[in-house]
Structure 1
């Protein structure tokens, strides 16, 4: 499928299903936090919100570089 999301966006349906929040809400939380840097943001999502490492990494990667990833 040519229009299928790839990279971090491919995780978004699973993130929404597992944690019960839309991705846009997670991205809003990331934008609002004072935490900075990839690793620190991943650790913040894991410790404060209980996300798994892969899901936290996907959200942070998309948050930091949205222009790089397709989103359906």
Structure 2
């Protein structure tokens, strides 16, 4: 069904898990360790520390910031 299509940042999750070999929960834990940083600082952290591409890093940070308690 077209209505079941994953949209937004989560649409990147399958390719992130495949490319970097870690589940999304792993990346959420990494971001929790830098939760005091601003959005783009968190993106830079993922890019610098893990060699992640900008789109993937931005999607993870967007999801993290939207869904964390």
| TM-score for the superposition, normalised by structure 2 | 0.88
* TM superposition score normalised by structure 1: 0.85
RMSD, aligned α-carbons: 1.5
Structure 2 residue ranges without an equivalent (≥5): none
* Larger helix fraction of residues: 2
Q: Which structure ranks higher in relative contact order (CA pairs < 8 Å, sequence separation ≥ 6)?
A: 1
Give the distance between the partners of 2:12 and 2:41, measured in 1 at CA.
Answer: 20
Large movers: runs of 4+ above 3 Å: none
Distance 1:24 1:42 in 2: 16
